[in-house]
Amino acid sequence: MLPAGATSMAVFSVKISRELKEKMDRYRDRVNWAEEIRKFIEEKVRELEAEENFKRILNELEKVSWSVPKGFSVESMRKDRNSS
């Protein structure tokens, strides 16, 4: 059982070129690569979820019939002018 507030973790592995791994190793004292990659993945997932939500909302809005009563704009402008 996990302590309160703890999150279970899963392993995700990626193959990269040996050359890239060697370059990463040169900077391992300055960069926590696992944390950088984790942040990138989390941000990308948030972006994709937001995109899906946006598309879903647009789809729902397209189903709604919007109508403004005839003369609404003119009447609103008159009221606004008269209130000043």
CA pseudo-torsion sign 27, 28, 31, 34: positive
Q: Identify the domain containing residue 57 by its residue range.
A: 32-63
The tally of domains found in the chain comes to 1
Domain assignment present for 45 = yes
Domain assignment present for 54 = yes
Total-model pTM: 0.65
Per-residue pLDDT tens digits for 26-66: 999 999 999 999 999 999 999 999 999 999 999 999 898 88
CA pseudo-torsion sign 5, 6, 8, 10: positive
Domain assignment present for 48 = yes
pLDDT grade for 80, boundaries at 50, 70 and 90: confident
Domain assignment present for 19 = no
Domain assignment present for 8 = no
Domain assignment present for 21 = no
Domain assignment present for 51 = yes
